[in-house]
Structure 1
Amino acid sequence: MNLHPSRRSFLSQILAAGVAPCVVPAHVLRAQTAPSNKITLGVLGTGAQGTVDMRAFLNHDDVRVTALCDVNTRNLERAKNHVKERYGSADVKVYKGFRELHRDSSIDAILMALPVHWHSIPATDAVLQGKHIYHEKPMGMSLAESMHVRAAVRKKGVVFQFGTQQRSDLKFRWACELVRNGRLGKMKEIRVGVPGGKKVAAFEEQPLPDFVDWERWVGPAPFTAYSEKKLQRDNHENITNFSLGMISCWGIHHLDIASWGNDTDASGPIHVEGSGEYPDGGGCDAVLSWKLRYEFAKAAPITFVNEGRESISHGTTFEGENGWVHVKRGVIAASSPELLRDPANKAGAMSIKLPESLEHTRNFVDAVKSGGSMKPICDIETAVRSDTLCQLAAVALKAKRALKWDPAAENFGEDSEANALLAARPFRGEWKLPELG
């Protein structure tokens, strides 16, 4: 079934119904200009992160949010209020199921901001329906899931933007350009620190509420009794039924920057090992604290810890033979203040210039509107390579031994035990990764 009707047939249907379209999807009116040539956006997941992202998209005059989808009616009502505040009307379509949202032929793109255990199945489905996708991090619960989404994107050729928005921040680009241009000399080590896990008392089981479809919220994950506390992001991101924990949910941000500065976006480590400590019971069971080490064939090693461990602070620190630079949100610092004051060392002034994006959602919209001539700053290839560092961390902690990684083959070679830990875990009930065909 062709879900993108021709321009003529689409307009004929609209006019026959006696309706004057105020927003026509961009895939129909590619040759026209504003106000009709807008990207129509469906929002899948209207919780905390989805709301932040949606409000960023609402700021773009060439984007129109036309549909919302969530199993939580409280989230939906808040999202509708934001839409009304922006457009003067909350007249948007509301879907409870992602499949129906993705099969709405009037929608060009999907903003997907769901709990981690729900990333890979709807992401693949959206891509196979030809939707461009702004995909919140991390990629999913396993490397196999990440690769499946990547295969779908490669097959359909849609625009995919990963939610590692630090690449659209001047300070992070500046730090990476300093490293890539040799301003610190030969790199010795990269240190990454992110928040650790959390230890909380067990969550008390509660009666099912009327504002959330808990069966659908749990979806492909192992079923667990309802507690409203499990809906909180800082809790479900630390429950292994739903997430890999902070090694992934926070780790992806600063490991992504480490990879950018290390010039390893198209490759990966050859060795990983580490250890971690876990909660002894309670409501959250993801890793509390850890130390991991990645080694590369032709790049600097990365030490990855929960922040504060071994005096490693939050963010990414690049240490070279001639000094260091540290970067986190809102801050860039260096061993020599003169390094940052020198006009010749400013972002964009050095010979190696990294891709520039001033705002992450804007970069995605521009890539969609380019018709394929522009790649987003965090495309699917970059996304999977950066996310692989998180997946390798999870595998190394489970294996409890040093592992050899083949970045070209993207596996552990003949280590069948470690390779088995890369596979997608069994999905519950009806849920499965959509076949690529």
Structure 2
Amino acid sequence: MTPKKGLSRRNFVGSVGVAAGAATFGIRAAGASPAQDRVRLGLIGAGSRGNQLLGEFLPRKEVQFVAVADVDDNHANETADRIAKDGGYDRPEAMRDYRTMLDRDDLDAVVIATPDHWHAHPTIHACQAGKDVYVEKPLAHNVAEGRAMVDAARKHERVVAVGTQQRSSDNFKTAVESIRQGKIGRVHWIQTWNFENISPYGMGIAPDSEAPSYVDYDAWLGPAPARPFNINRFHLLFRWFFDYAGGMMSDWGVHLNDIALWAIDQKGPSTVNTTGGIWCVKDDRDTPDTMQVVYEFPGDCVLTYSMRKGNGMPMNGHGYGILFCGTDGSLFIDRSGHEIIPDKLAEPYGIKLIKGEVPTRTINTQAEQVKAEDDGLPNHVDDFLRCLKTRERPVCDVEVTHHSTNTTHLGNISYVLGRKLTWDAETETFPGDDEANRLLSRPYRTGYELPKV
């Protein structure tokens, strides 16, 4: 199928609203569940992550992919061939423009695995078209996009799940339950980190060039600024540029901060302060290779995110992870498992010398070790498919991950402005700070404006 005659790609993306979406796509009744045995899916974004997700979806007999969209013809066609081979059914339709897919009546939901700057538009359009959505993390390129995605899901009563799959992992569930049950006492300090050494070359420096003939590069840029094609800004490497993503902060920080927010039951911090820079890696990136972010939360708790690309010395023997520190013990977790470490009470020399005997207490925290089976993706896909039938909200509902993703946006905004910021998680604004509030959204290229919800 092709887009409706007279409806160009650019004017559709810029202007489609509820009425236009209903007229163009024939929205199914809100809350309707698939009548057929198989859930009919479309894949939007057929690169690395899209094919990783296929590895989880394809073996499931209850799903069938009927369409694949990617602005890279090689990605679209190679993935369509793979689906036909491994799925055991007809080859899905391959296309460049995802909106062609949304016009199909035999489509129930879409799986979106595009670069970050292309998460919001297809999610909103899919909701307007009456389709449910599984969209990869980080949810959105900026705070305003994430809020628009939440609003679209609610307005059109769509299931929108996000690929922060650790929330579906038994390992992370058990750890969060332990923290909420008070096993390590009152949590007041959380450390998250990503460390590796890729200095000094990183991805190197590449000259601008002509875009490959099999790629619609203008569509790939979409809402981002118009720039010459450069291989270092393209597939996979896009994440190191603010035009398209948020660097390591949003790529991995969202996974870590998501679990922190879940454990302490918070929507967001009250303040954020970031320092760092491009200090060790001399390549084309404009996102930092060294970063320290400090978040203060209501209830007297601090979260720090540490990232370095110029030194791989692990923390507690791990190159990434989360460490929760409570008054009775600590809990370390990553995707391999988690461990509870009981704490010990100290008798500081100065206090004892001046005060003599002081009150003491007993710490009853017990050591525990749990080994993980996986990162949660199998259960995450199960949860999404179940919610398509029950119409319940998924474990990583769009609003849940919107809050987690916001923490990464806040860290980057503080980095760009070079100062500490105060945040209101309820209004999703920086109170009285016009300079910071301007960075909650972005300028959009003409024809690629954020769809109105």
> Is the shorter-chain TM-score for this pair beyond 0.5, marking a shared fold?
yes
Equivalent pair of 1:47/1:75 in contact (CA under 8 Å)? yes
* C-alpha distance in structure 2 between counterparts of 1:124 and 1:57, whole Å: 22
- Equivalent in the alignment of 2:107: 107
* C-alpha distance in structure 2 between counterparts of 1:340 and 1:238, whole Å: 38
Question: Which one of 415, 421, 426 corresponds to residue 443 of structure 2?
Answer: 426
For these two proteins, the number of residue pairs brought into alignment is 396
Equivalent pair of 1:132/1:159 in contact (CA under 8 Å)? yes
User: 1:210-249 counterparts in 2 under 5 A?
Assistant: 210-233=213-236, 235-249=237-251
Tell me which moved more, 128-137 or 90-99.
90-99
State the 1:333 CA deviation. 2.4
Equivalent pair of 2:34/2:108 in contact (CA under 8 Å)? no
State the 1:284 CA deviation. 1.3
Q: Does 1:304 align with 2:332?
A: no
Gaps spanning 5+ residues in structure 1: where? 8-25, 31-35, 348-355
Query: After superposition, what is the alpha-carbon deviation per residue over 1:75-134, rounded to whole angstroms, capped at 9, x for unaligned?
Result: 123312321222334521122112211222211101000011111122211111111000
State the 1:242 CA deviation. 1.4
Structure 1 residues 197 and 210, CA gap change in structure 2 (3 angstroms) = farther
User: 1:55-66 counterparts in 2 under 5 A?
Assistant: 55-66=55-66
- Equivalent in the alignment of 2:163: 163
* C-alpha distance in structure 2 between counterparts of 1:244 and 1:114, whole Å: 14
* TM-score (norm. length: structure 1): 0.84
RMSD of Structure 2 on Structure 1 (CA): 2.7
* C-alpha distance in structure 2 between counterparts of 1:377 and 1:132, whole Å: 15
Tell me which moved more, 86-95 or 394-403.
86-95
The residue type equivalent to 2:439 in the other structure is L
User: Aligned to 1:173, what secondary structure does the other structure show?
Assistant: helix
Equivalent pair of 1:195/1:246 in contact (CA under 8 Å)? no
Structure 1 residues 88 and 116, CA gap change in structure 2 (3 angstroms) = same
Structure 1 residues 113 and 90, CA gap change in structure 2 (3 angstroms) = same
Q: Does 1:317 align with 2:323?
A: yes
* C-alpha distance in structure 2 between counterparts of 1:216 and 1:158, whole Å: 26
- Equivalent in the alignment of 1:140: 140
- Equivalent in the alignment of 2:283: 282
Query: After superposition, what is the alpha-carbon deviation per residue over 1:18-76, rounded to whole angstroms, capped at 9, x for unaligned?
Result: xxxxxxxx95753xxxxx32211000001000111122111222111111001112212
User: 1:3-402 counterparts in 2 under 5 A?
Assistant: 3-4=25-26, 30=35, 36-195=36-195, 199-233=202-236, 235-264=237-266, 267-278=267-278, 282-298=283-299, 300-306=301-307, 311=315, 313-336=319-342, 338-340=366-368, 359-370=379-390, 372=391, 374-402=392-420
**Could you tell me the percent identity over the aligned residues?**
28
State the 1:305 CA deviation. 0.8
User: Aligned to 2:219, what secondary structure does the other structure show?
Assistant: helix
Query: After superposition, what is the alpha-carbon deviation per residue over 1:316-341, rounded to whole angstroms, capped at 9, x for unaligned?
Result: 11111111111111232232595326
Structure 1 residues 196 and 239, CA gap change in structure 2 (3 angstroms) = farther
Structure 1 residues 6 and 177, CA gap change in structure 2 (3 angstroms) = closer
Gaps spanning 5+ residues in structure 2: where? 1-22, 343-364
Structure 1 residues 303 and 197, CA gap change in structure 2 (3 angstroms) = same
Query: After superposition, what is the alpha-carbon deviation per residue over 1:344-385, rounded to whole angstroms, capped at 9, x for unaligned?
Result: x999xxxxxxxx996111110100111x2x220000110111
* C-alpha distance in structure 1 between counterparts of 2:33 and 2:293, whole Å: 49
